[in-house]
Homo-oligomer: A and B are copies of this chain.
Amino acid sequence: MNVYVAGTGMTKFGKHAESSIELSVEAAAKAMEDAGIAPEEIEELYVGNFAQNMFEGQAHPGPALYGSLGLKNNIKATHVESACASGGFALHEAFRAIKGGFAKTVMVVGVEKMTSRPTPEVTGILATAGDAFYEVPCGITFPGYFALMASYYLKNIGGTRDDLAEIAIKNHHHASKNPYAQFRKEITKDVYYGSPIIAEPLCLYDCSPISDGAAAMILTSEKKDVELASCEAAVSRMALAERREDISWLESAEIAGKRAYMVAGVTPEDIDVAEVHDCFTIAEVQNIEALGFYKHGEGIKAAKEKETYYDGKKPVNTDGGLKAKGHPVGATGVSMAIEVVKQIHNEAYNQVKGAEVGLISNMGGSGPSCVAGILRRS
């Protein structure tokens, strides 16, 4: 059974007064309208959410959401969590629900409402996605995790802070055209270097923001113009301390990507546009290397050389990426897939000419879980 995209919808990412339920309703209603599908046609719901129990006091989002979304009573609704890859993992299970012949029309909603908590508390909540038994008790949180990987990369593999700045500049440039983005503004190198260091060598503009938002996608077995050709997952070691010698290499993204290429029958060269998990600028570099777009050590120059701009030879994060579009954790993976659908529909805000095949790489935590998916014109 092939899997197609029937419709998509999302909220603007940023700071919202609304609850996770209300944000989900907005995204889902748009997706149903886009698909021309009534609520009662949806057979199953998968919710991608990281920690609404801590952000809002609401666990159990399957039953909490389905009624508000207007879906039919007694459908199946499942909550899938894999830190910042929660949306991607929900998409993966929904993909299988159709691929395996269990359902014909499945909705995926990714959502996170984060800004209701003060920033230090959010940082603490996010840190539960790290290694809670050994590393987090030593004081590490996510900027620290990625600072360690960035330091390793800059010291041993190559590149400079200036190369990271170029990634932030590119993604802000892309987001400036995206009405759904949290930061619709260009930045300059002066702005980048003028911002405070968060965790050496990463400064404020290397980091994705705290965001609220929801993104919804309806998958169907009925032929549509965009196919979700694969959606595969992999995990790798949680603790940085347990990784192989090069802590900057994202094994889960490499393996999930290889699985996604294999199932879809494509190669990295076939990818016209990619949405990859740039929770920090360095993570974009790590992803585009793990996914086979660049050799290890060469990905860091891609933005500086304008190759990953929407009009470059390997467009990456054309919606502004997590960096500038925003990163409402559970919604992120689904929003990546939505951008690729827009590109294939020739409706993107930074349109890649002739985009036919796109990839998403949605990563959890410091990289130990990843979902990679391929969407293409069918």
* Residues of A that sit less than 8 Å from B by CB: 19, 21, 50-51, 53-54, 56-60, 62-64, 66-67, 73-83, 89, 92-93, 96-97, 99-102, 125, 127-133, 136, 232-238, 242, 251-252, 255, 364-365, 368-369
Contacts and interface: CB of A to CB of B under 8 A. Distances in A.
Contacts of A54: 53-54
B96 A63 contact: no
Nearest to A63: B368
Given A51-B59, A59-B129, A78-B233, 20 more contacts: A21-B133, A53-B128, A54-B54, A58-B132, A59-B81, A60-B368, A63-B236, A63-B237, A63-B238, A63-B252, A63-B365, A63-B368, A64-B368, A73-B236, A74-B234, A75-B234, A76-B233, A78-B93, A79-B81, A100-B100
Task: Specify which of A51, A132, A364 lies most central, judged by the most chain B CB atoms within 10 Å of its CB.
Answer: A132
A64 B238 contact: yes
A56 B96 CA distance: 31
Contacts of A99: 100, 102
Given A93-B93, A101-B100, A252-B74, A60 B234 contact: no
A344 B94 CA distance: 33
Contact of A100 (B66, B96, B368): B96
20 contacts: A50-B59, A59-B132, A60-B129, A60-B238, A62-B364, A63-B82, A63-B238, A63-B364, A63-B365, A63-B369, A64-B238, A73-B251, A76-B233, A79-B89, A81-B81, A93-B93, A96-B97, A99-B102, A100-B101, A100-B102
